[in-house]
Chain A
Amino acid sequence: MARTAGREAADAQLLVLISLAPEPKHGHAIMLDIAAFSGHRLGPGTLYGAIERLESAGLIAPEPRVGRRLPYRLTETGRAFLARRLATIEALSRVGMQRVAR
């Protein structure tokens, strides 16, 4: 159960990083974007749990407020971290697909 929750939290953080990669977004826009590109809707609690962890890890940072909204952007550390994670996933995916195809 705890491991599943940890797995889901890690997935949510990855989805938030991918969402912020092209441009800064506020919470609601991140939620809509993730639903659009992954088909997976994050609940408000899960989304802000991920935002809190990513911000405290220095992977994302808040931008100046726009009206009521507080957008977040990917930091340079966050961009490098995301690139490494995606490269790992891509390598694993390549090996996995080769083995499945046998």
Chain B
Amino acid sequence: MRSVLAFLVRLYPAAWRRRYEAEFRDLITDGDLRPSDLPDVFFSALRARLTSSGPRPERMRTAMSQLLQSTTTHPTRLATVGLVIVLPTLLLVTLSILKYVVGFAGPFDAVEPFASPWVTSPIVETALILAPYVALLLAAMPVVQLRIGWHQSRLNGSIAVSAPAVNLVVAFLSLAVAGVMALYWVAENL
């Protein structure tokens, strides 16, 4: 988790990082961290981007370019973030398969009392449904790099594929989870 948090620090504006990054990294290194620190740092970085000085379009362009650059320089960290995002959905899908397909209801029934109040919330439900697609995007972005350029009155395009194992695993898991959920939806509604 420390490495994911250290990666998320890159989402802060450059001016913020020049001033606070060293001590912030110390805090991440020495502090007692919790899973809730991941969204805390992620949304704090976004807030810092939106409230930092400088013209907003320029800030957004810088943020987007840094994010896109990070997909090529840190592909496995991005896949790790995707894995964290898809884990709750993966857990629920796995437990549902164990109960309703395999007939092993123990783990599902053990988790259900804790999960039910959360899963019934429309926001959480939407997040759980979207999670595999977001994770797939995060894992697949650095795997396929599309380059399009204009050179000597010709449009040149190339596709480069670079696939770290972690990205492939997360992409496969996300696809599998999305596929199972789609099948479930079809069986329920058609």
Contact = CB atoms under 8 A, between A and B. Distances in A.
A51 B31 contact: no
Nearest to B16: A52
Nearest to B40: A43
Given A43-B36, A44-B31, A27 B23 contact: yes
A70 B31 CA distance: 15
A28 B26 contact: yes
Contact of B47 (A27, A31, A49, A68): A49
B45 interface: yes
B44 A70 contact: no
A52 B48 contact: yes
B20 interface: yes
Nearest to A45: B44
A26 B20 CA distance: 12
Given A68-B26, A70-B23, A43 B47 contact: no
A44 B30 contact: no
A60 B30 CA distance: 23
A46 interface: yes
B24 to A, nearest CB: 6
* A interface bracket (residues with beta carbon within 8 Å of B): 10 to 19
Given A48-B20, A69-B23, A70-B23, A28 B31 contact: yes
A44 B23 contact: no
B166 interface: no
A44 B48 contact: no
Chain B interface secondary structure, helix, strand, loop or mixed?
Answer: helix
A101 interface: no
A5 interface: yes
B137 interface: no
A44 B40 CA distance: 7
Contacts of B91: none
A21 B171 CA distance: 49
B24 A48 contact: yes
Nearest to A30: B27
B28 interface: yes
Nearest to B43: A45
B123 to A, nearest CB: 10
Nearest to B52: A52
Interface string A31-51: 100000000010111111101
Contact of A45 (B22, B26, B41): B41
B77 to A, nearest CB: 17
11 contacts: A27-B24, A31-B31, A43-B34, A43-B36, A43-B40, A44-B24, A44-B28, A44-B37, A44-B44, A47-B27, A52-B20
